[in-house]
């Protein structure tokens, strides 16, 4: 059991908002980064809020992810850290992205109080069109409180096994909180302890790993296996991949919403990679033909190579795809295999190097042997 505060609130979102309010009003933080409702029909966005009154519209756990907050927080702090304490409310996968980016030197975590929650998942962004989410919210919160899997979530959310955050200072025990109306905020670090001190209701102790968490983890595991089996993933080999990405319009949205793809300017956008007439000339001489513009597959494979080891499975990429390529599922599946290969869980341990960064003169010999013989 760890130090905890018990927050009043009929659901986790309200409890989270109260927590942020009291942190801001007590002066423990100068600002708060959280989701805020910005439109009448369930439009939400991340905002950096400095005024308690403005937090009235805050909805930290609203089940939508307009952007991966880990990536946003990295862009805010990449050159230098906050001068004054700021609280940031991140979902577990956003937090993991933040930690991954830290390893790539894209983050300055100074003065950030990291708050997270056990996560019930989010809906695809298009589910919120025309206020389409509002009616379903009570059922969603009930499912979260009972450790049930809500229906209609992002596919990668339904299949997410890392919905308990790894390293936050404070964790709101949202999943499996029951219907009691009091939710526990558990301190995980000295900074978390300090934040809770003197807060209303900050006397008790509580656990993040509720019975609901355990039951949800089982359900998610089963859903994950099913997703990888039923979702139309590419058949092995080049032809399968060509077919899978056949709809791709080359808008690069998947890349721009990906928190791990952190290059300011991508190689694929550089003038140097612009195909020249000669490129086509060469293709024409050697192949039946070539896609125009070329390199669609190279782009996706390039991304897979560079960031599948760090993919946190947030699902932003699939949500952003205008032509519904289930790219997040592919990344989650390939990511799972890559990560298993390096025994690596992205965003878990800030001290552990990203496999891409670890330079070994010899590695993965066994993979080569398995595939190609010794």
Partner 1 sequence: MAKESSVLIYGTNLAGYRAAYALCKDGHKVILLNRGRYVDEIKYQALAQLPLDFCWICGHMPQRLFKALGCLTDYYNAELLSVEGEAGNFKVKFKKKDQYVNNFACIECDKCVDVCPVEVDGRKAIVVVPEAGWENIYVVDEENCTKCGKCEEVCPTACIKVERPEETVEADVGAIVIACEFEDPTDEDLADFGAGRSPAVVRNADVAGRSLLTNFVKDSVRLPSGKVPATFAVIVTPHFNRPGVEYENYNLSVTAAYRAAKIKELMPEADVAVFLSDYRGFGKGHYRQYLKAREAGVDFVRAESVEVAPAEGVAVVKYKRGGESESREAELVVLVTGQKAPATMEKITAVTGVEPDGRGFCRLREFSSTETEVPGVFCVGECSGVKGNPETVWEGCALLPEVSEYLGEKNFKPAPPPELRNVNGEVPNVGVFICSCHGTFAERMDLDGLREDVAVLAGVGRAEVVEGCCTPPTMKATAERIKASGVNRVVLAVCTPLQKLLKYRKTVMMGGLSPLLLRLVSLREDVVDVHDDPEKMRTKALALIRSAAEAAKRASQEPLETDAFTSRALVVGGGLAGLEAAQGIAAGGFEVALVERNDHLGGNAAGLDEGQRAYLAELVKRLEENERVKVYKSASPRSAEGYAGNYAVKLDTAEGEVVERFGVVILATGAGDYKPEGFLYGDDGRVMTQRELAEKLAAGEEVTGGVVMVQCVGSRTPERPYCSRVCCAQALENALALRERGAEVTVLYRDMVTYGAEEDLYRSAQEAGVQFRRFDEDAYPTVEAGEKGLAVKLADGETLAAEAVVLSVGVVPERENNEALSAAFGLRLDADGFFDSDANAYPFEEAIKRLTKPFELATNGIYAAGLAHSPRPFEGVLLTARDAAGRAMVMLGKKKMPPPNAVFVAGVKDSLCMGCGVCVDVCPYGARVIDARKKVATVRPFLCDSCGTCVAACPNDASFLRDFTGIQSIAALDAVLA
Provide the binding-site residues for partner 1, judged by CB under 8 A.
Answer: 78-79, 104-106, 262-267, 270, 272, 278, 282, 285-286, 306, 356-359
Considering only CA atoms, which of 331, 309, 304 is closest in space to residue 96? 309
Cβ proximity to partner 1: between 59 and 310 the closer is: 310
Shortest Cβ distance from residue 294 to partner 1 (Å)?
13
Give CA–CA dist 215/156, Å, rounded.
18
Shortest Cβ distance from residue 30 to partner 1 (Å)?
24
Shortest Cβ distance from residue 61 to partner 1 (Å)?
31
- Alpha-helical segments (H) within the chain: 12-25, 69-77, 92-103, 137-146, 155-158, 190-196, 211-230, 238-244, 253-257, 277-286, 296-307, 316-320, 327-341, 365-372
Cβ proximity to partner 1: between 59 and 106 the closer is: 106
Cβ proximity to partner 1: between 10 and 357 the closer is: 357
Shortest Cβ distance from residue 287 to partner 1 (Å)?
13
Q: How far is CA 140 from the centre of its chain?
A: 19
Cβ proximity to partner 1: between 91 and 103 the closer is: 103
Shortest Cβ distance from residue 278 to partner 1 (Å)?
8
Residue keyed to tokens 């509580």: 206
Decide if 163 contacts 173 (C-beta within 8 A).
Answer: no
Cβ proximity to partner 1: between 123 and 331 the closer is: 331
Cβ proximity to partner 1: between 270 and 292 the closer is: 270
Decide if 17 contacts 55 (C-beta within 8 A).
Answer: yes
Decide if 154 contacts 328 (C-beta within 8 A).
Answer: yes
Shortest Cβ distance from residue 267 to partner 1 (Å)?
4
Residue keyed to tokens 């020249």: 276
Cβ proximity to partner 1: between 137 and 297 the closer is: 297
Burial class of residue 236 in the structure, from the number of CB atoms within 10 Å of its CB (0-12 exposed, 13-18 middle, 19+ buried):
exposed
Strands 170-172 and 182-187: antiparallel
Burial class of residue 85 in the structure, from the number of CB atoms within 10 Å of its CB (0-12 exposed, 13-18 middle, 19+ buried):
middle
Cβ proximity to partner 1: between 85 and 302 the closer is: 302
Give CA–CA dist 110/131, Å, rounded.
38
Shortest Cβ distance from residue 116 to partner 1 (Å)?
25
Give CA–CA dist 179/320, Å, rounded.
34
Phi-psi bin for 175: left (phi > 0), alpha (psi -120 to 50), beta?
beta
Give CA–CA dist 221/219, Å, rounded.
5
Shortest Cβ distance from residue 354 to partner 1 (Å)?
8
Shortest Cβ distance from residue 288 to partner 1 (Å)?
17
Cβ proximity to partner 1: between 341 and 356 the closer is: 356
């Amino acid at each position: 059991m760890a130090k905890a505060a018990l927050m009043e609130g009929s659901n986790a979102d309200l409890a989270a908002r109260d927590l942020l309010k009291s942190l801001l009003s007590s002066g423990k933080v100068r600002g708060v980064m959280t989701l805020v409702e910005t439109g009448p029909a369930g439009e939400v966005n991340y905002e950096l809020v400095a005024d308690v009154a403005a937090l009235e519209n805050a909805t930290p756990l609203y089940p939508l992810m307009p952007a991966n907050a880990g990536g946003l927080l990295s862009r805010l702090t990449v050159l230098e850290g906050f001068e004054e304490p700021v609280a940031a409310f991140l979902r577990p996968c956003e937090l993991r992205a933040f930690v991954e980016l830290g390893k790539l030197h894209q983050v300055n975590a100074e003065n950030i109080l990291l708050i997270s929650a056990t996560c019930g998942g989010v809906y695809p962004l298009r589910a919120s069109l025309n206020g389409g989410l509002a009616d379903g919210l009570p059922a969603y919160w009930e499912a979260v409180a009972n450790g049930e899997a809500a229906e209609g979530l992002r596919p990668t959310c339904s299949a997410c096994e890392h919905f308990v955050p790894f390293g936050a200072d404070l964790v709101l025990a949202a999943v499996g909180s029951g219907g009691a109306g009091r939710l526990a905020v558990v301190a995980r670090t000295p900074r978390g302890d300090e934040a809770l001190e003197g807060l209303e209701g900050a006397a008790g102790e509580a656990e993040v790993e509720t019975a609901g968490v355990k039951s949800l983890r089982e359900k998610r595991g089963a859903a994950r296996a099913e997703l990888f089996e039923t979702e139309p993933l590419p058949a092995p080999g080049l032809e399968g991949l060509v077919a899978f990405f056949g709809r791709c319009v080359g808008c690069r949205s998947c890349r721009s919403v990906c928190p791990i793809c952190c290059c300011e300017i991508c190689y694929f956008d550089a003038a140097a990679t612009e195909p020249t007439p000669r490129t086509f000339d060469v293709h024409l001489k050697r192949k039946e033909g070539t896609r125009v513009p070329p390199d669609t597959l190279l782009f996706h494979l390039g991304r897979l190579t560079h960031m599948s080891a760090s993919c946190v499975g947030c699902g932003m990429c699939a949500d952003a795809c205008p032509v519904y390529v289930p790219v997040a599922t592919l990344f989650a599946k390939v990511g799972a295999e890559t990560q298993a290969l390096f025994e690596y869980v992205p965003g878990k341990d800030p001290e552990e190097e990203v496999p891409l960064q670890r330079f070994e003169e010899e590695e993965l010999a066994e993979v080569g042997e398995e595939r190609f013989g010794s």
